[in-house]
Structure 1
Amino acid sequence: MSTAPDSAPTRDPYTLTADGVKEPPVGWKASLRYLGPGMILSASIVGSGELIATTALGAKVGFAILWMVIFSTLVKVAVQVELARWTIVTGNPALTGYNKVPPKIGRVSWINILWIVLALSKFLQFGGIVGGVSVAASILIPLGGPPLGTTSVTIWTIFMVILSIVLLYKNSYRLIERGAFALVVIFVFATVVIALGLPMTPFGYGADDLLGGLTFTIPAGAVGAAIAMFGITGVGADEITYYTYWCVEKGYARWVGPNDGTKDWERRAKGWIRVMYKDAIISWVIYTFGTVAFFIMGAAVLHPQGLAPEGNKMITTLSRMYTDTLGQWASIGFLIGAIAVLGSTMWAAIPSWARMYTNILATFGAFDWHRSPVVRLRWIRFFTVIMPIIWGVAFLVLRVPVLMVQIGGVVTGVFLVAVVVAVWYLRKQEVDKRLHGGNWFNAALVISSVAIGLLGIYTLLNVFGFSIGSS
């Protein structure tokens, strides 16, 4: 999607017209060139959740909770796909849909009010991500003082904020998609290879370790970390939400066209929904392998040594996963990789959250989302500038990246329940039954919804001091 400096896109993907339709490809080979939103999703997911939260959990509890790592990546996909189905059919992004779910307070739905709470908590989470990138860069190339000193970390934080703004200000979909692909693939591949090679090192693991992690138990003292991990690994509430924006900007909804009630429209809708299925499946494979690899590395390398990634020493502790298995030379590779993997989260999150903030303004009546593309783009660019600045300030004030990321994860887990409510409401009210998934998908959607609901309730009870069982 190309844009002129001060104008809307030449063909606005959020405007559905009859002349914008395109026949959907048939089969995997023909569909490959139309995939991409899932890669942006993977760039966001294979970042703070995997490198920080999942690894920290593995370091804390060992292999005991491996089952939940796998479960957390798998269980939310059906909800993600169902919301994207609604988007492709209507051409609307998620927050527009959330605002239709009653009850409302004035113009705004209760879900969007809860989203604002989520957005505020994300200042902490993304502040932690900015901090992680800056600390890694400072260790690699100290500026003005020792690697973990205030001066060097501050200089790198300011540099990373400015660099993010400069690179992402244009908000070109094509640029964002290609950058996400480049940042994700290399580091995830290297991490998976290392995790699979650990059995040949002093930090090897065996089948007993893996099987012991599939016993569906949560060790004492690990409940809070596990809940944060569930909210932040795999597709979280924010990723499920902004996946819809990238599906629209890729062109899926525009290629389906406005609903004219014809068989041709139904056929196109089913075809592009199938393409979206493929996109979601590939991204799930990518971030699941990355998630499991990071967890195994934390459990196999850090846990036996009693190491836990905390504070500004998070990056140096995490680097032990590499240096303790490959030697000191690997620390440079890890630092470059850490910058890439955490940077990929920033790369995907900044334009994604800029779109969501802009969309929430539209729900408040600041402008018309569909009819004012020029105004929409200006607001997106405004948030592209202001958000990294706020995140950088949050890190420099607090300087506890692991805790900051985990707090965001807990709130994300709670908001997942609201997303499930919205998905079922929009499915019933606005998705033609002819376009609903088959029996297997519908069963998966029910299981996914129930699991998210139960975990959300459990999270709320723990937040307010109620405990169920031992923790």
Structure 2
Amino acid sequence: MTVENDPYARSSQEFKDPPRDFRSTLRHLGPGMILVGSIVGSGELIMTTKLGAVAGFVLLWFVLLSCLIKVVVQAELTRHTISSGKTFLTVFNALPGPAVQRPVWLAIPWMSIVTVVSVVVVILFVNLPETLLTWSTRVLILAGAVVIIVVAAFLIQAYHNHARPRATSAQRPRINWFTWLWLSSLLLTFVNSGAILGGAGQAIELAFPDFMPGGARAWSVVVAIATAALLLSGTYASLEKTFIIMVATFTLMTVASTVLIQWTGYAVTWDDVVGGLSGKMPGPVTTTLILAALAMYAGTGVAYGEMKTYTYWCVEKGYARYIGENQPGEEWARRARGWIRVMYTDVLITMVVYTISTVCFYMLGAAILFANGKDPDGVKTLATLGEIYTESLGSWSAMLFIVGAFFVLFSTVVAGAAGNSRLLADGLTVMGIADPRDYRSRLRFIRIFIIVSLVLYSVAYWLFENPPQMLLITSSLIAALMYPIIGLGVLYLRHCDVDPRIVPGKLTTVWLWICGIALTVISPIGILSALAIQFGWIAIGP
């Protein structure tokens, strides 16, 4: 495939000058709308509203902090990828630290076996009766899984040595600690996305109760099939247009609901807002409250997953190719700075959209659900969330909410599957399993991983069937594990691996340091505090 058709390839002869004015810049925006489509369903509709329901207005400051501190990290990460022409995984696979040559057994067959074995283990843990699920049984199941995985690795190694005795190790690139960690966290990502798929299934079940045997579980499979059909037949441009419509419609509906509650018994007062911005913690602080806050923090603003996938959407939009291959002189630097400015505009406009939407969701949850003592959870999650609309707009809005909730959750499923499939396909190129210069091969793997991801999403929801709890656990763990790495990693890139002609200004650098350190410490402190409270080591609040 030619360079002209491959957005991941660059040439010194192919480039495009950046727009010179704001109006022209607007025509080149778009990746952020896919990002918002991914954020709204998980972080905003479910977890932000849930946090408002359990904490009231007092954590409004933390919601705003969550939206604001990740923006510059996201933008500076993307600055590096679109200016260097390297993908996110390629960049982070080159971070300093331990690295080993990819083992022969680390290939698609072994990863497939690990996935199947992991799913079987989870199925056993979820479905075995409590009387049978003793500690010895748990150890036996886990030991059996480890044995199968290790034996599979040995067999694949032996087959490779027999089939390709003269193959050189030079064909296998080095894989650093981050790539291993990313591979290890994939199952958490699938469970996290399964929660959103299940939420979309619950929305359809609300619209057509008892229509299909299996309820929301069965509908989630239908949603997965519809998502696959859309992604396998669509392009980046069609995705962008679809998300703009979905996000705009539901965001306007949410803002309208927030305004209209001012004429009901749930009106938000100035004291509520001031109290929410005071920086205080609700009391008493419980483990559940901290995990809910961390899950909101992990899923709102720009989540870890969106930080990664945004870099790919910017590449597919053409920003990296428009900059062209790095050349000496001022011409390339001028072009790079221009397209980085376009990217920053996209990031900032996106931030305004999701911050407004996030604050509205939080206020609706705090004003209505907290006041009524309602906590969205389990199979009734969407039904409970619907009350923030029926209480503010009236009972007639129930169907409007169902339609809106479905589309916003559906948009998150679509964006998540599209983004994850690109990451997985790129992972194969980083590990030397696929050729990074073969765009047809990349597209083929993207399509395969779309199907694989959606199957695993469906299995995850079928097993757990509780979107808030699925998000609560996986989002908190992912945030504690990955946010520190992203924060410190982007700081390293800023000072050690960026072209000196396009370094960010002093103000941006200072803000990057503040936000990078905040990302590094907030999640681990939250997890440690939750554990300390759970074991009775500390108590926070009255």
Q: TM-score normalised by the shorter chain: which range applies?
A: over 0.9
Q: What is the CA-CA distance between 1:460 and the residue it aligns to? A: 4.5
| Correspondence 1:212-227 to 2 at 5 A | 212-219=275-282, 220-221=285-286, 222-227=289-294
CA distance in 2: counterparts of 1:422 and 1:372, whole angstroms:
28
* Structure 2, unaligned runs of 5 or more: 101-173
The answer to whether structure 1 residue 242 and structure 2 residue 312 are counterparts is no
**45, 48, 51: which is aligned to 1:57?**
51
Distance 1:286 1:468, change over 3 A: farther
In the TM superposition, 1:106-117 aligns within 5 A as 106=100, 107-117=174-184
Equivalent residue number for residue 232 of structure 1: 299
Q: In the alignment, is residue 389 of structure 1 matched against residue 383 of structure 2?
A: no
Q: Using the alignment, how far apart are the partners of 1:126 and 1:285 within structure 2?
A: 24
The one-character-per-residue Cα deviations of 1:381-412 (angstroms, maximum 9, x if unpaired) are: 10111111110111011111111112222123
- Which moved further from structure 2: 50-59 or 354-363? 354-363
1:305-327: CA deviation from partner (whole Å, max 9, x where unpaired): 00010001001101111112222
Tell me the amino acid that sits aligned with residue 90 of structure 1.
S
- Which of residues 273, 291, 302 in structure 1 aligns to 2:358? 291
Greater displacement, 120-129 / 248-257 = 120-129
Distance in 1, Cα, partners of 2:524 & 2:18: 40
Tell me the equivalent position of 2:494.
427
In the alignment, the residues of structure 1 paired with residue 383 and residue 249 of structure 2 have an alpha-carbon distance, to the nearest angstrom, of 21
Give the match for residue 151 of structure 2. Answer: none
2:229 aligned with 1:169: no
8 Å CA contact 2:49, 2:365 repeated in 1? yes
Q: Does 1:66 align with 2:65?
A: no
**What is the correspondence of 1:362-373 to structure 2 with a 5 Å cutoff?**
362-369=429-436, 371-373=437-439
Query: Alpha carbons of 1:449 and 1:469: their partners in 2 closer, same or farther (altered >3 Å)?
Result: farther
Contact 2:291 2:530 in 1 (8 A): no
TM-score of the aligned structures, taking structure 1 as reference length: 0.94
Is residue 276 of structure 1 aligned with residue 339 of structure 2? no
- Deviations 1:146-198, CA, capped at 9 Å, x for gaps: xxxx6232331221111000110145111111111111011001101211221
Query: Identity across aligned pairs (percent)?
Result: 37
Please identify, of 251-260 and 461-470, the stretch whose mean Cα deviation from structure 2 is larger. Answer: 461-470
Match of 2:466 among 400, 404, 420: 400
Q: CA deviation at 1:114?
A: 2.2
Is residue 444 of structure 2 the alignment partner of residue 378 of structure 1? yes
Match of 2:121 in 1: none
Q: Is the 8 A contact 2:194 2:461 kept in 1?
A: yes
* Structure 1 pair 8–433 and aligned structure 2 pair: CA distance change class (3 A): closer
Which of 147, 152, 175 matches 2:215? 152
In 2, Cα distance between the equivalents of 1:443 and 1:20? Answer: 34
Partner SS, residue 108 of structure 1: strand
C-alpha separation in 1, matches of 2:22 and 2:9: 28
Q: Distance in 1 between matches of 2:532 and 2:446?
A: 39
Change (3 A) 1:259 1:465: same
2:515 counterpart residue number: 448
Structure 2-normalised TM-score? Answer: 0.82
Larger radius of gyration: 2
Match status 1:20 vs 2:83: no
Match of 2:80 in 1: 86
**Deviation (angstroms), 1:10:** 5.5
Match of 2:42 in 1: 48
Which deviations, in whole Å up to 9, do the C-alpha atoms of 1:88-132 show, x marking residues without a partner?
A: 111112111110012234122222222223322122211110110
Match status 1:103 vs 2:166: no
Asked if the contact 1:227/1:410 (under 8 Å) is kept, the reply is yes
- Name the aligned partner's letter for residue 241 of structure 2: R
Find the aligned partners of 1:197 and 1:113 in 2 and give their Cα distance.
49
2: CA distance, partners of 1:302 / 1:9: 53
Contact in 2 for aligned 1:169/1:381 (Cα 8 Å): yes
Supply the RMSD in Å over aligned alpha carbons: 1.7
Q: Deviations over 1:438-459 (max 9, x none)?
A: 1211111011011111113314
Give the secondary-structure state (helix, strand or coil) at the position aligned to 1:151. Answer: coil
Q: More deviation in 10-19 or 75-84?
A: 10-19
Would the aligned equivalents of 2:488 and 2:517 in 1 still touch at CA under 8 Å? no
Q: Is the Cα–Cα contact under 8 Å of residues 66 and 301 in structure 2 kept in the other structure?
A: yes
* 1:433–1:215 Cα change, 3 Å: same
Following the alignment from structure 1 to structure 2, what is the Cα–Cα distance between the partners of residues 168 and 27?
33
Contact kept in structure 2, 1:21 and 1:257, CA below 8 Å: yes
| Per-residue Cα deviation, 1:342-395 (whole angstroms, up to 9, x for no partner) | 1111121111000011112222221232x1211111110101111111101110
Structure 1 unmatched ranges of 5 or more = 1-6
SS in 2 for 1:253: helix
d(CA) in 2 for partners of 1:144, 1:293: 33
Secondary structure class of the residue paired with 2:395? coil
Aligned partners of 2:268 and 2:367 also within 8 Å: yes
DSSP-derived class of the 1:329 partner: helix
User: Matches of 1:327 and 1:278 in 2, distance apart?
Assistant: 38
Mapped to 2, the partners of 1:395 and 1:360 lie a distance apart of 25
Counterpart for residue 3 of structure 1: none
